Amino acid sequence: METILSFSIEYLFGSSFPKEQNFLIIEDINAKGEFLLLELIEAFRKINFNTILVLLDFIPSSMLAELTAKESDNFSIVNTYSPECSKYYTTTKLHELNLMLKSIRKEFQSEKTLAIFIWSLNPLFMSYSSNDVINFYSENVKHAIETKTLEFYLVGKGLIENQDMRRLIALAHCVLELEKHAYQEFYWNIHYLKTMGLNLSKTEIVYKYEIGTSIWDSKLYFIDHL
């Protein structure tokens, strides 16, 4: 008999963690890491964080419309599709993207409750050299520490060379690996590859994904055991 726990930040990361924590989420192909990002956004909004989704992946227009319709006082999108779609707009050029992220951190610095979510690094690795993207990531980790910002970066497993993935892992404070469950459809395993600054006893979490009528209706549940 399985035990199902509703999604919570505390169950995933513990009761407290540094505000300047940087999270790298490595996902299998089609492991739906973006839905983990959306659950995190909702969780942080509930505790009055300002949340920013940086949308770099090329997604269907219907999904983009769903995301932008959800924008509110404490949830905004950095859009790379059109300057007319969202409050913030930038291209995927590394320099412009970097300037946008610095501007957003500065804008919210006085409130000290900012969480940024990058969906995802994949297009950057397809457009630029690994060194350029890793330098971009390194600079943002440093700036997030200076401004005490929580940041989550999604990246696809197998997209880049192992040595480059190890370089990303070395720069991150916490690293989660999402793997599709070997025997259960709509189940995934979360492995903790690195937990700097976090006091976690868990070595692996299994979660179940339930498809809703929209991306915002979909839910994640943590499974104690199968």
pLDDT at 2 > cutoff 70: yes
Specify the amino acid at residue 93. Answer: K
Place of tokens 């979360």: 190
pLDDT at 140: 96
Q: How far apart are CA 30 and CA 8, in angstroms?
A: 22
Asked if residues 106 and 96 have their Cβ atoms less than 8 Å apart, the reply is: no
Confidence class for position 12, pLDDT limits 50, 70, 90: very high
For residue 147, give the 3-state DSSP assignment.
Answer: helix
The mean pLDDT value for 198-220 works out to 87
Strand-pair category, 50-55 with 114-119: parallel
In degrees, rounded to 5, the angle at the alpha carbon of residue 151 between the alpha carbons of residues 11 and 186 is 50
Task: Give dist(CA 171, CA 169) in Å, integer.
Answer: 5
Mean pLDDT of the chain: 91
Please count the residues of the chain.
226
Confidence of residue 201 (pLDDT cuts 50, 70, 90): confident
Residue with structure tokens 């513990």? Answer: 14
pLDDT at 1 over 70: no
Do residues 41 and 220 touch, judged by C-beta distance below 8 A? Answer: no
Q: Count of domains in the chain? A: 1
In this structure, the strands spanning 150-156 and 22-27 are parallel
How many other C-beta atoms are found inside a 10 Å radius of the C-beta of residue 221?
17
Residue 199, pLDDT > 90, answer no
Dihedral sign for Cα atoms in the order 63, 119, 24, 107: negative
pTM for the structure as a whole: 0.95
Q: Write out the H or E segment, with its range, that includes residue 13.
A: helix 9-13
Sheet holding 114-119, edge to edge: 4-6, 219-223, 204-210, 187-195, 174-180, 22-27, 150-156, 114-119, 50-55, 75-79, 88-89
Least confident of 51-60, 147-156, 202-211: 202-211
Give residue 98's pLDDT band: very low, low, confident or very high (50, 70, 90).
very high
Tokens 């370089």 locate to 167
Domain that holds residue 79: 4-223
Which of 4-8, 128-132, 196-200, 201-205 comes out lowest in average pLDDT?
201-205
pLDDT over 90 (residue 31):
no
Q: What is the pLDDT of residues 105-139, one digit of tens each?
A: 999 988 889 999 999 999 999 999 999 999 999 99
CATH code of residue 28:
3.40.50.300
Q: DSSP assignment of 29-61, as one string?
A: TT--HHHHHHHHHHHHHHTT-EEEEEE-S---H
What tens digit of pLDDT does each residue of 65-97 get?
899 999 999 999 999 887 777 889 999 899 999
From the list 19, 99, 18, 16, the residue with the least C-alpha distance to 54 is 99
pLDDT at 169: 97
Confidence of residue 60 (pLDDT cuts 50, 70, 90): confident
